[in-house]
Structures are given as C-alpha cells and as structure tokens.
Amino acid sequence: MVYIRNLSLCLILMLPQFVFGNGQLDVSQNVLDRLYQVHGHFNTSRPKIELVKNKKNVAVYIKSRNTIQLELSAYNLCIAFGRDSLDALSFILAHELVHALQTSNNLPKTSFIAYDKTFKGSVDMERDADIQGIFISYLAGYKSIKILPDLIDRMYEVYGINDKIIRAYPSKHERKLSAQVVIQQVNDLIELFELANRLTQISAYQSAIPCLEYISKYYQGKEIFNNLGVNYVLLGMNMGKLQGEALVFPFELDWNLRIKKPKTGRGDDFLSPIDLLIQQKYYLKAQEYFEVTKRLDPTYFWSDLNLFAINILRGKLDLAQGYYDSYLKAHCLVNHESVIFQKINFVYAILLFKKGEIEEAKRILKLISSQNNPYLSHMAKYNLKVITNGQFEYAYQNAGVCNTPGFKLVDIPDTEVKLTKTSTMEWIVIDTAIQIERRILSNSMIYTFFENNEKSITIQKINISNKYNFNIDPILSSYLGKDESVYHCAKDGIAYLVRDGLLNGIIRYYTYYDNMP
C-alpha cells in the first residue's frame, strides 16, 4: 500500500481536539501495548496514543513526542468491523508503530493516509511499514491481512475521497493495487514462518534457517532472531553421524534423536577438524543472534539462557562461569520457581559437571528432577544417569513416542504424499542458492526445497478435519508448546501435531541428503 506523508503548515499549527471520558483510549492503548510486546524492540521506548477529533490522516506518528495520534473517525471505522474490529485497529496502529521503530525515519511526522509532496516521504518506507505492520499483527494473534482490502474501501468512503483525485491522497485504485502486493508478500512471510517452525520441530534446521533469514530481511523482530539462534545452535549440536555431547540441554527440541547416535568412546573425535570449524561457525552465528535479541530486550532471559549455554558448548567455561556469577546467579536465587531460571540452573549443572564439580552438579539436577515440570524433570533424570554412569558409558534406553510400547502409527485415510494430484504449483525464491517448490492440494501443502538445484527435503503439512484422540505422555513429545505438542518419529518421516489430546495435523517428510548413496 502506498502511504505517503502529510505535513502542511496548517497541520503543524492546529491543536488536536482530544477525546476523553471513554474506554476508546484504553482499547487502543491495549492493542498497541500487545503489538509492542510481540515486536520486542524494548530498546526503543513505547509510543503513547492520543485520540483526536481531526479527520484527515487516520493516524499519525509524531516523532518529537513519541506519540501516535489516532483519529476518532478511524477508531469508529474499525469498530464497525464488529468481531474483526481489533484486526482493523491493530493494522493501523502496527503501521505507525513500525514508523516509531524505523531507525531510518528522520521525518518529524508520518501520516497513515495522506501526503504532501513538499514533505519528502518515502514510498518504500510506507510499504515497509505495511509489511511489518501486518506481520506484527499476525504474531500478536490478529488477522489484519484478511480485512485489509475492505478496510481500504471503507476508509476512502468514510474520509470522503472514494473516487476523487486529490493531490494529498493516492487514489483508491492505486492504494488497493499496492495492498495486493503487500498482502502477497506478507502471506509468503507468514507461510515461511510457519514452515520454518515445522522444519525446526522435525530437526530440519538447515532448511529452517534460510526461511527465517529471508523473513528477517522484511521483519526484524525479536522472535525471528531468537529462532534463528536456536536453529543455528541445534544445527551445530547435531552435526555428524556420531554422538559428541552426551548431556542434553533444556532448549533442545528432539533431543532423543541426537543422543541415539552411536557413541565414539571419547568426546573429542566425533567430528573431523573441518567439521569442528563449521560447528564453531554455527555456534558463533547463534551467539550473534542471541546477542541481538538481548540488545532488543534486556529483560529477555531466554537470551541469557542461550548465551550461557553457547559459552559452554564452545568450551568457554570460564566465560560461562563469569556470566553466571556476575549476572545470572542473583536472578536465579530470587526467581527459583520460574521455568526459565530452572533451565538456567539446569545449564549451570552442566557447567559444573564439565568443570569437575560432580556432586554439586548432581545436587542441582536432583532438585530439578523433583520439580513439577515433567519435561524438564525427564531431561534432568537423563543427565543424572549420564553423570552417574560416565559420560559415554550410559547406554541410552529407547524413548520417544516411536518406541513407546504399544504405539502404532495413526492411519488416517488420504494423508499420504500424492504429488500427482496437485492442483497448482508455485515457487518461492529464497536466494540464488535456495528455492522452494510449493504444491497445493485440497487438504495440504507440499514443499520441496532445492539447494543449488538439488532436492534436499520434501515436507507435507496435512490438515485433519476429523479429530482423533492422541493421549500420549507429553514428555515423549519432541516439542512441548503452550498450545501444541509435536510427536516426531524420525525413522518414519512423520510428526503428529496435537492440541488438547486431539490430533490436529500430520507432517510427512523425506530428506534426500540422508538417503544418498
């Protein structure tokens, strides 16, 4: 959408007519606060909202006051969308929030709808605000993208510029054409974000990373950088066909897969010298991304957990100890019941073990194993057995959903990969080396990744219309989220998506690089 600036002398001199005495301001501020929290750029102060009775700009961001002025007519326009009202409001506010966070924005004021040619606004900056604004709204749980065309129609009607050609406003036709470009771009970003999450959950980190790096060109939010860091560290930990690190870390997703690799007998020969250099490169990339998330949000302790662990994985034990003593220890003592600080203590036990302080490491792990967090408790018990029996001597017993006694693959009709029944085929070009072939079926999407013109992985996400009971112990999941659990069977190339004990979807995949002669 082409949104260009408006800053006339008249507008500068006019004092806004503020609206008081109702809940409109609270609703608007709550939506903005939610968007700000999701974006996670806490190194930039949160803008405040003012409701005004002007009817010219829809919304403006005033840099000198770090304020978003939302016009009452625009607020009422959003309310007219009924149950979609917050979706409409979130897009307008997210668009202006992006302006507040744009480091290249040196303009004293931006306008959502109008512009003046003497006020050298950037069309690219406005489109960037559209793309990031819709994507932030999506991450915050709003569905702004589905109502955007209708929002433009109603906006031009309410503001009395429906079919008029006015110098200060782009035509509705121009605005809607631009909106279609934005919608397609954001749909691709959302699709790649969800695809990257699925790839991470099936341990296809090398394919998830380019998806996330592509998104980061358009949206620089905390969640994207954190996910990139996690994928890089997991890629490094899972390098090679032999098991190197015997202990598990609390940020690992499908840790059963890694520790079932054959053991080397020693911990220093599971990778070649070249692969060790590549692994260190991955760890350094992960560290860079975690440092970015920490700068964006100094209170984001998940970054601290990850940075703490990276130092241990890189063999920087003194740095890890210093980081814990100078910063993390005090927070762990005060917040010892918090999950994040339990995980930090979990990693601290790994550090103690590697420094030879075996008994203290055991004490901490025993304490964590008795907590009411079944997933973390399970991992702590495993590490205790490894430490007790020797780092490479403990024989790992089969675990995970695939090896559960009595477990059978769920047989759902019409869920196999059927490439011959595709209705359409499209391409997503990530860069010159990586392209994704997207095939659309009636109940699923099939993605095939090409790296340097060679297939690397095909993944199919199948939607399940009829819900099936799937009551399996959560500790057997490869990913345990707030709303969804993922049960991964790598040997069968399948993963089950479960919500509230019901099967919600199936992932099937085939990795070509694991099956080459």
Q: Which residue has the higher pLDDT, 334 or 466?
A: 334
- The position carrying tokens 């759902």 is 412
Per-residue confidence (pLDDT) for residue 43, from 0 to 100: 81
**What's the rounded Cα separation, in Å, for the pair 444 and 390?**
46
Domain spans in the chain, listed from the N-terminal domain onward: 9-191, 220-397, 419-515
In this prediction the pTM is: 0.83
**Please, what's the b/e burial string for 121-151 (b: 16 or more CB within 10 A of its CB; e: otherwise)?**
bbeebbbbbbbbbbbbbbbbebbbbebbeeb
Per-residue confidence (pLDDT) for residue 52, from 0 to 100: 92
Residue percentage of the chain with pLDDT more than 70: 76
Read out DSSP for 184-245? HHHHHHHHHHHHHHHHHHTT-HHHHHHHHHHHHTT---HHHHHHHHHHHHHHHHT-SSSB--
pLDDT digits (tens, 9 = 90+) for 322-337: 999 998 988 888 777 7
Instruction: Please check the confidence at residue 84 and state whether its pLDDT lies above 50.
Output: yes
Per-residue confidence (pLDDT) for residue 82, from 0 to 100: 94
The model's confidence at residue 393, banded by pLDDT at 50, 70 and 90, is very low
**What's the rounded Cα separation, in Å, for the pair 175 and 366?**
61
Per-residue confidence (pLDDT) for residue 47, from 0 to 100: 92
Residue 472 corresponds to which tokens in the numbers above?
Answer: 């399996």
pLDDT digits (tens, 9 = 90+) for 11-49: 223 333 334 446 899 999 999 999 999 988 888 889 999
Among 77-91, 388-402, 439-453, the range with the most confident prediction by mean pLDDT is 77-91
- Cβ 125 vs Cβ 167: under 8 Å: no
The model's confidence at residue 143, banded by pLDDT at 50, 70 and 90, is very high
Residue 131 corresponds to which tokens in the numbers above?
Answer: 């793309």
pLDDT digits (tens, 9 = 90+) for 243-278: 567 788 887 765 554 545 545 544 445 678 888 899
